[in-house]
Structures are given as structure tokens and as C-alpha cells.
Chain A
Amino acid sequence: MDTTQLLKGVLDLAVLAVLRDEDGYGYDILRRLRSAGLDDVGDASVYGTLRRLFQAGALTTYVVPSEAGPHRKYYALNAAGRAQLAQSGKVWTGFAQTMDRLIGEEAA
């Protein structure tokens, strides 16, 4: 099964989740997602998702000047983002349990 298709539905949730404990900039967030095991996550997909969540009001941004490299725009969860994370998390957990059950019954 192609995980990129699955990712499309849950990328918002994944991005919100990696920002829960620590703010991050674009490339940093991408790295967190990949090191968490989402190897197939697309560069542009993460970027587009960040812009959309920001436009939707779930994220705030701030720029951190960097001496060595380019300035970085950090993304942070705000209250709306945390609420969305909690809500989407519940939906996912329920969905995943349903799928697990389904697959478990099939396999049994």
C-alpha cells in the first residue's frame, strides 16, 4: 500500500503532533517527521501544510535571525492548534482502532 496516499489524510495531525512539545522551522519539522518514521513525507507537502495551518489560524510564526545561515521562520502551536490536535488525535485513534479491529478479525 502506498503510504503517501495515507499521509495525505493525516499530515495535518502529524505536523501538529511534532510541534506539540517544541516549536520548529520548516526543515526542522520535516526532519522530525522523517525521523519519526514518516520517510515518504514530501517536502512540499509539509510546507504547504504549514502554510495552510497558519492561514487557518492553528499556528503562529516568528522569525529567528541566524548568523550562519538564513533567517528561520519558526512555527508554534497556539490554542486553536492545540484544540485541533486534541480533536484530530481522537478521531485518528478511533479510526486506527477500528482499522486494527478490522484487520485483526480478517487475519484471525
Chain B
Amino acid sequence: MIAPSGSSLEIDYYLERVGEALADLPLEVREDLMEDLPAHFVEVLEEQGGSLVERLGPPAAYAAELRAAAGIEAGAGAASTARVDLERLRGRLRIADERGGRLIGYERATDFLRLLRPAWWVARGVAIVVLIFAMDILPSDRIDDPLGWVLIVAAVIASVRLGAVGRPRMHRFVGYGITALGIIGVLVMAVNLDQLGNSQSYLPQASSNPYQGIVDVYPVDQDGRPLQNVTLYDQNGNPISMGDAWRCYAGQGPEPRATPAYPLCPLGRTAPSEGTAPQPTTTTTPTPTPTPTPTSPPTPTPTPSASVNPSPSGSPSASG
């Protein structure tokens, strides 16, 4: 095959359509028939200007004229076994295409995909701009300001124009490159969306957070002594925020800090609820318990001894 230097998307597109219209021919016959067309189309465009469709008519009509003038009947030509296999594969793909299409209400599945092409044009425009910012070719934080929006709008317009009109004409490999960049960009966007979802799961209302039930943290040292004003950090050096920093704020004293110091509610104020925090075991001075101390001999209470005075009402003893 001769590689035409002035090839363009327009020529590729036209050739593709011509090739489709000749798809029933064995590959050898078709290739032979189309061998010189790329170079020829380059000359047509160079000498006559305009578009190929304007100059040559619809690709299908061009293919029909080519076939008729070359005197080739449909499906003519001896096909080698490898070609037969290839044709059979093609046939199967065509059948799958038609069956898949019927499933979603189209003649062919590719008809449906073709309808989605404008969506792809828009997506690849956005994706490539996103990629430019993601790779920090332009500062990535500017994608949200007018610069980002202007670039996205411009890219979408250019991409749709390229897709729909085939202009500006560019080399086939540039086209492949744009497609590849578009796909990469879409993947980058997909990954970023995923990250967005993950960051939301750090919010306390997320159900997957195993610490969501914790309202306070009571750190103790190795001897079980409660610690005050403890700040916890994760592996990245970011302070860990758990519990409700406002829980014990009574409107007095310094407001709770962004970096919480645990316990949020110091022990004296609100005791940890039973079972959730370790009971601090006091090993310091034991509070005196009221044990009975040996008292001094009892001071005699000045009670009148009644023993001296015989009861005036001396009841007649039973002796009488």
C-alpha cells in the first residue's frame, strides 16, 4: 500500500464508506479496487478543492460506479481459505450487530452507536481539557475559573466541528492521537469521580465509618492514669477528629479547636458512660474511709446517778 502523505480524516472517512459499500467482495478484490484511491483523492482535493462528497458524490454511489466500471459482480473472485474465514467472522459480527440492534430497537447496534457519536465528540473535548489541567500543563486549580470554562467550550466546539465536518483536515495518526487522548481523559475523569465519592465517605454520616458511634475519647497512660488535652494524628500527620467537639462546651472558656484535644469532656465534668470508656482506677491517695478509730476513754457524762436516790415511789416490795 502506498501511504499518501496528504491523507486526512475526510479521505479516510470517504474510503471507509466506499469500503463498506464493497464489503461483500473478497478482501483481495476490494483491496485491488481501492488501492490507488487514497492517492487519487488527495489529488482531487488538491486540484478541485471543496469536499470529496461535493466532487465525487456519495461514497456508496462512488463504490457502485467503481464496481460497475470494473465489471465486478457482487461476491465475485476466488477467495482463499483464510479469506473465507475472515469473511465468515465478518458475517458473524454483522449478525451480532443486527441482533444486538434489534434488542434495543435499531436495525444494527452500530446504528445506535453512531447516534452517540456527537456525545463522544463533546466528551472528548471536555476530557482533553481536563487532561491538560490534570497533568498540570495548566495549573490544575484554575479549571474552575473562567480560563477552564473557556477552554472547555472551545475544545467542545472544535471537537464537534472536527467530528461532524471533518475540518480542519489532519493526518490520520493525529486523529488516532486525539481519540487516544480523549479516552485517557475520560478515564481520568472517571477516576476523579471515584475519589470524590471516597472523600464523601469520610463524612460522619457515612455508614461505613466504624467510629461513627464514638462521641468522645478518653486516653490513659500505661498506668491507667487519664490524660488530658491529647491530640491524635493519623499516618499523614492529620489530626483525627472523632466525637462531638461541642458536646461539653458550655458557652464558657475557649471554643473547641479545629484540632480536638481529648477527652472532649474532661473527666470531672461528664463521666464516660459505663462500659464505653475504661474506668480510671485511682492509684493515688486513697480517700479516707470512715473506719472507727480507737477513741479515748469515754468521758463520764454527768448523768445524775439515780442509784443514790431510792425511788420515791418505792413500790412496796414484794417482800411484804
Contact = CB atoms under 8 A, between A and B. Distances in A.
B181 interface: no
Instruction: Classify chain A's interface size.
Output: 20 to 34
Contacts of A71: 2, 39
A49 interface: yes
Contacts, number: 74
B39 A52 contact: no
A26 B63 CA distance: 16
A16 interface: no
Nearest to B3: A70
Given A27-B44, A70-B4, A48 B36 contact: no
Interface in B43-64: 43-44, 46-47, 55-56, 62-63
A43 B6 CA distance: 19
Interface string B33-46: 10111111011101
A88 B269 CA distance: 117
Nearest to A73: B36
Interface residues of B, number: 29
Given A45-B65, A70-B2, A51 B39 contact: no
Nearest to A56: B71
A43 B71 CA distance: 15
A68 to B, nearest CB: 8
Query: What is the interface of chain A mostly: helix, strand, loop, or mixed?
Result: helix
B56 A47 contact: no
A27 B43 CA distance: 7
B56 A69 contact: no
A38 to B, nearest CB: 14
A11 interface: yes
B69 A46 contact: yes
Contact of A47 (B4, B36, B38, B43): B36
Interface string A1-20: 00000000001000000000
Contacts of B38: 70
B248 to A, nearest CB: 83
B36 A44 contact: no
B5 interface: yes
Q: Which 9 A-B pairs have the closest CB atoms?
A: A48-B69, A48-B70, A70-B39, A44-B65, A70-B4, A44-B66, A27-B43, A45-B69, A48-B66
Interface of B: 2-6, 32-33, 35-40, 42-44, 46-47, 55-56, 62-63, 65-71
